[in-house]
Structure 1
């Protein structure tokens, strides 16, 4: 039975996504920003282009059916939503005081300075947004940070939407999540926690809400995803903090109505506290969280529930009959708890910023696969159908997505091989024996220098790849172009004096997509771009079936590079967990089973590289931390299958073959035990952007293998000096045993230019030589 009725004028519309992609279907935001940073366009043109993008987005959402006031989210961000919230309350660290004008405000150039750094200051630290591949900038707050309304961007965007005839819903990261994600500013007293400034931050939010009310906003969305994850304070303390933040905002007399969202998981026993804050609407992620009981919904009277039933993190079509049944069950429980079942709103589980814009432009996907997919626009269409009662009700425990039964989904040989795996297949010999054999084979100096894998992808390389893809450059011409670039990169590394070289990966469009294009069980898109951070976008592949390797993938490129130099060249692979994390993965079997299939496919590639004479193989796992569940109770099961899949990929080699792995922006300290369990011979990690703080997690005795704490933040255009790098190495040497210390950048160099790359690597090599000479270092 449907409970649909006409909502009151003050109520939220019956269907609404809680966020939408902001990069543009053709990556308009990326292109505009990068043109501005390069000096090809001026500020006025940047403003014109971003204004046009926002207008086009509002028109698109209206065309899809989001025409009611506040139905469409105003979730645009010039760089990052967390940075936007931090700037809105003036959370600007002292080292960036120069970005504030005389009135204490910050403009777009100031925003870019914090995000990208300046010649004098490194940028804010960047890390993963909950368990996604989106990266946010970590706010820095001290006890005396002058919290004040430093930008009116959220107000300006709403006013702009009125000019467009849209009347969107302003979206802002909530105060509690903002401070839980923040870190103490350098120089803050020991024991200071950004949460200590909650009352001050909330006072700024009160002012901001008042300004939005004056501008005519009927609703404001405050995102509080921190409630769906374990935090440094317990649930009881969070309940108190909810009253001090959302409760205080709701108590303000001059404000719009409040929608508080809780994406990325269930909030459990915090629901009654949230319902009691006085917020007019509360969103629940019902794809990862459970439908609350009537008892948990006590206090729902007067609160509009926003039911996140359409998964916003995957590209699979929603099994609408199941979603409709779950929606009806929620309405029944709301009625039982004394609430209004007709007021329940259909929504997405999370912001749609995690999926591409639209499936409409994808012309090359297999028809049977495409019929099971939904991108952002298609998910909004699903929401409208669900909210409008157009869907027949199915089984509440039915499948969450449309079943996939077409050819390629199951491959019996793959399943038989995975079933035959034993514990011994994921074990190598003792590290001490391996280290001795590897040093004898490789003869590396103390503090060996290397890079993470990719080198800058110049226009000629991208043009050759595109021409080959279009059929305008034949296979021989393409191979010749790639070999020329590999030869140039090898020669450059030899001239710079690096100890362990890479081939530069010119043939790779993306570190996951390249493998997806060469492994069975995957499909790739033409326009499926998703924002990773700032202007950086990825095109996640679609893992829909059983995975296996039809033929060697990287061996030819690696062996050609090795033929050009006597120095060791690393074979470069992307690990199974990262391939899963940065793809849209099938949801019809446990992730651990899929990861094992990918691990076995990579095991074949590692074996072929070793047989071809490649003595070092790097299997990158930057997403190991990313997929870590948000609740500690779920960690053990995840780490068991994720570590096992990596070891399946890497444990079939001889003792003298050195296995490396790489983790970037991965909060090493959170998963140090799991990283140790990977049993890689050398692990390189992010360290520069967090200014070495990550090293505090390293116990030299508990982590007895090689480690390369990154000494150059490649996500910023600034060139670190040799002395700056040397100082980081000295700090690292105080924590890591010198014989285990490697010297490398934070991440691959694909997004950097050659001028800054050459300058930074010269400084890196010079710093390594200087620190080597300061005291004897005994090789392992």
Structure 2
């Protein structure tokens, strides 16, 4: 029974990769230093997995920014505008694709970014041309194999990881509408075969091809593309191909595996354990081995060994032990690195948790149990039972009624009242919430957390930051202001520290995109609001201006999705508990005179199950949770929500069901493409299509922003359009932010003059 891993966290235990990348971008270190940090992280990762006793260890799962972008460079999928710069420096070319490039005569936007299936990881979207050519451009994967040889020693244990050809095409987008991206498969597959042959020449035996699209509802075209690709690969490759899928079951697509030549198939038994009874009979008459994705790579709770052993034994009985492999269900990039770096978590909760390193050792434990070690099984059972008895009280049920999740009147009635009450101009301008988190701000928060400074001194300093940001916004002439969120480390972590039943970690960092790392909170018990969470800061900000200041909250679905959630009760029970807590805060803000309240839900799309048959159940509780949090206010109080970096085209009716008065969204990277779908759907409420890409350091011009506003005005009623950035501004620098926002408000002024005649 082989033990293996699909991928390991690449940020470093102390976020070394983040710090090194950002220093490089700021010209504070050079490529040699950057590469040295990368080598150090890879070495540590390989050593951990090798020491634990894995039989196969992933390679090429490391990335300086994004593994999909790495794949694009490997295959030469580089838009022409980027090829014209940095042609002598592949890393600067790479980072320009991810972040944009603005210097001297160059002004090139970053490539589009979206969510990796239903996770909070963001990837750079490959762009395909009708005449697309594929070729081996990057040597990263081959260089890493040679690095791994020096650490792992036994080359046969090295398992290079590649995104499979069909999933790679699926994840990209066509630059023209005159062709379908799947048409490129005949050009693409030969390059994959070249890559695999080169890896074989390096002595590699196993190669992991990730095809997570097998968990989706595939079109006939996608199915035919898959069959073609793997027939071609099977005919020309003798390596041990491990075909992996994750994030959902593959039962509906199992027929695609007939007559293809692979050594092993990996399935996700965490997300869909029921598929096992269909997969085992299918594989029994084949020569394909089965990899059981049995350790949860997306949550932090320890494995229930008794449940896992049942699945392993059933599989062994069907296929024989020599045909069974065990692994996490997906890459471990979605969990923190090592639970032993946490010192403040209650020991009984900590004993119930496993981060990436511990999950590797869970595979070792499962093998020992199969070989007869009953003590490990008993100890695991005792830990789970003790946690359940001590920390998981009886589930607190939230009563659901129409009164709890419906506004008093329709949007049309509310909009009229809000126009009169708020008295905002056409094309009102605002930001999404956060402003730059400088080193000084982070230092103040850190000192307060460590009790180096008093609460009084901390409060005084945060208020100074708020006064400053209010003055900056007034000077730029933004219409609806925000308080800047200087008291918040993260939009979810902040609320987790204010709510009962949720804890924060010290070092539980997880990569969100590029150098952006987050610390997902851990929901371990019933969630309750103990006191006001935002009132003092928001009301202070409002007291410093005659303009409107938004109350800023994180929505229940996003708190849920961006946390590690307790696994001992239905997820919707936890969602409703959070929603009720946010509802209480919303009503307190309204009571204190705040007229606009934003409840961010950027994660509403990523929580969506991959298969449409499961959508109705998800949306039933997710939309109710949002509406529960937002529906207790008066008609005159305007509720905003924010979403970003996901595909929304297929869920507009559900977004409309949220019934937020205003929704703000990312649209600048996609050049307002999303708005056509909003227009076709006839989205009824107000919308702020992002006109400024905050994930890139480049500064958009007035003309560029005006062009986006004009495009929006052709798709949406002018009276319903807001002007705002794509997302919060906390990761940007002040010099970028002030210039960009000034250009944004100038563009809005021009639009009010030039486009006002279009007002119906």
Give TM class, smaller chain: over 0.9
Between stretches 340-349 and 534-543, larger displacement belongs to 340-349
Deviation at 1:330, TM superposition (A): 1.7
Matched, 1:126 2:116: no
Matched, 1:671 2:651: yes
TM-score of the aligned structures, taking structure 1 as reference length: 0.92
1:339-386 Cα distance to aligned partner (Å, 9 max, x none): x44220111100111000010111101111111111111111111111
1:565-613 Cα distance to aligned partner (Å, 9 max, x none): 0000000000000001100001222211111111100010000000000
8 Å contact kept, 1:447–1:772: yes
1:130-162 Cα distance to aligned partner (Å, 9 max, x none): 110001111001121221111111111001111
Summarize the Cα distance change of 1:411–1:573 in structure 2 as closer, same or farther, 3 Å threshold: farther
Summarize the Cα distance change of 1:757–1:362 in structure 2 as closer, same or farther, 3 Å threshold: same
Match of 2:72 among 86, 92, 100: 86
Mapping of residues 284-433 of structure 1, within 5 Å = 284-289=267-272, 290-293=275-278, 296-298=281-283, 301-334=286-319, 340-388=320-368, 389-390=370-371, 392=374, 402=384, 404-410=387-393, 414-415=396-397, 418-419=398-399, 421-428=400-407, 429-433=409-413
8 Å contact kept, 1:318–1:402: no
Match of 1:217 among 190, 193, 204: 204
Matched, 1:277 2:260: yes
Other structure's SS at 1:662 match: strand
8 Å contact kept, 1:316–1:401: no
TM-score of the aligned structures, taking structure 2 as reference length: 0.95
Other structure's SS at 1:669 match: coil
Between stretches 360-369 and 725-734, larger displacement belongs to 360-369
Work out the number of aligned pairs and report it.
745
Deviation at 1:85, TM superposition (A): 1.3
Question: Could you tell me which residue of structure 2 aligns to residue 258 of structure 1?
Answer: 241
Match of 1:462 among 413, 418, 442: 442
Summarize the Cα distance change of 1:295–1:545 in structure 2 as closer, same or farther, 3 Å threshold: closer
Question: Could you tell me which residue of structure 1 aligns to residue 138 of structure 2?
Answer: 151
Other structure's SS at 2:341 match: coil
8 Å contact kept, 2:182–2:222: no
Question: Could you tell me which residue of structure 2 aligns to residue 337 of structure 1?
Answer: none
* Aligned counterparts of 1:468 and 1:275: Cα–Cα separation in 2: 61
Match of 2:504 among 517, 524, 530: 524
Deviation at 1:406, TM superposition (A): 4.4
Deviation at 1:552, TM superposition (A): 0.4
Deviation at 1:64, TM superposition (A): 2.1
* Aligned counterparts of 1:777 and 1:634: Cα–Cα separation in 2: 45
Question: Could you tell me which residue of structure 1 aligns to residue 188 of structure 2?
Answer: 201
Matched, 1:248 2:246: no
* Aligned counterparts of 1:61 and 1:21: Cα–Cα separation in 2: 12
Matched, 1:483 2:469: no
1:602-649 Cα distance to aligned partner (Å, 9 max, x none): 010000000000000000000000001100111111111111000000
1:442-473 Cα distance to aligned partner (Å, 9 max, x none): 11000000000000011111001000011101
8 Å contact kept, 1:408–1:546: no
* Aligned counterparts of 1:779 and 1:613: Cα–Cα separation in 2: 31
* Aligned counterparts of 1:779 and 1:519: Cα–Cα separation in 2: 45
* Aligned counterparts of 1:601 and 1:477: Cα–Cα separation in 2: 29
8 Å contact kept, 1:212–1:256: no
Deviation at 1:779, TM superposition (A): 8.2
* Aligned counterparts of 2:363 and 2:283: Cα–Cα separation in 1: 26
8 Å contact kept, 1:431–1:705: yes
Summarize the Cα distance change of 1:401–1:433 in structure 2 as closer, same or farther, 3 Å threshold: farther
8 Å contact kept, 1:503–1:561: yes
1:248-285 Cα distance to aligned partner (Å, 9 max, x none): 112214x5321111111111132243253101111111
Other structure's SS at 2:101 match: coil
Deviation at 1:409, TM superposition (A): 2.6
Other structure's SS at 1:665 match: coil
Match of 1:46 among 28, 34, 37: 34
* Aligned counterparts of 2:279 and 2:41: Cα–Cα separation in 1: 43
1:315-357 Cα distance to aligned partner (Å, 9 max, x none): 01011111011111122233xxxxx442201111001110000
* Aligned counterparts of 1:471 and 1:614: Cα–Cα separation in 2: 32
* Aligned counterparts of 2:703 and 2:235: Cα–Cα separation in 1: 53
Summarize the Cα distance change of 1:378–1:300 in structure 2 as closer, same or farther, 3 Å threshold: farther
* Aligned counterparts of 1:571 and 1:107: Cα–Cα separation in 2: 44
8 Å contact kept, 1:426–1:651: yes
Deviation at 1:86, TM superposition (A): 1.5
Summarize the Cα distance change of 1:191–1:634 in structure 2 as closer, same or farther, 3 Å threshold: farther
Other structure's SS at 2:108 match: coil
* Aligned counterparts of 1:431 and 1:225: Cα–Cα separation in 2: 40
* Aligned counterparts of 1:295 and 1:216: Cα–Cα separation in 2: 31
Deviation at 1:191, TM superposition (A): 3.9
Matched, 1:163 2:125: no
Larger proportion of helix: 2
8 Å contact kept, 1:141–1:182: yes
Between stretches 240-249 and 377-386, larger displacement belongs to 240-249
8 Å contact kept, 1:315–1:375: yes
Structure 1: any 5+ residue segments left out of the alignment? 5-13, 335-339
Deviation at 1:717, TM superposition (A): 0.7
Question: Could you tell me which residue of structure 2 aligns to residue 178 of structure 1?
Answer: 168
8 Å contact kept, 1:743–1:768: yes
* Aligned counterparts of 2:393 and 2:670: Cα–Cα separation in 1: 44
Matched, 1:719 2:707: no
Between stretches 725-734 and 15-24, larger displacement belongs to 15-24
* Aligned counterparts of 1:55 and 1:344: Cα–Cα separation in 2: 28
* Aligned counterparts of 2:152 and 2:725: Cα–Cα separation in 1: 48
* Aligned counterparts of 2:246 and 2:406: Cα–Cα separation in 1: 38
Deviation at 1:31, TM superposition (A): 0.7
Between stretches 386-395 and 493-502, larger displacement belongs to 386-395
Other structure's SS at 2:480 match: coil
Deviation at 1:27, TM superposition (A): 0.7
Deviation at 1:242, TM superposition (A): 2.4
Structure 2: any 5+ residue segments left out of the alignment? none
Summarize the Cα distance change of 1:144–1:494 in structure 2 as closer, same or farther, 3 Å threshold: same
Other structure's SS at 2:679 match: coil
Deviation at 1:97, TM superposition (A): 2.7
Deviation at 1:241, TM superposition (A): 2.3
Deviation at 1:29, TM superposition (A): 0.8
* Aligned counterparts of 1:449 and 1:239: Cα–Cα separation in 2: 46
* Aligned counterparts of 2:47 and 2:376: Cα–Cα separation in 1: 34
Deviation at 1:73, TM superposition (A): 4.3
Other structure's SS at 2:84 match: helix
Mapping of residues 430-441 of structure 1, within 5 Å = 430-441=410-421
8 Å contact kept, 1:312–1:348: yes
* Aligned counterparts of 1:515 and 1:472: Cα–Cα separation in 2: 23
* Aligned counterparts of 1:509 and 1:295: Cα–Cα separation in 2: 47
8 Å contact kept, 1:318–1:400: no
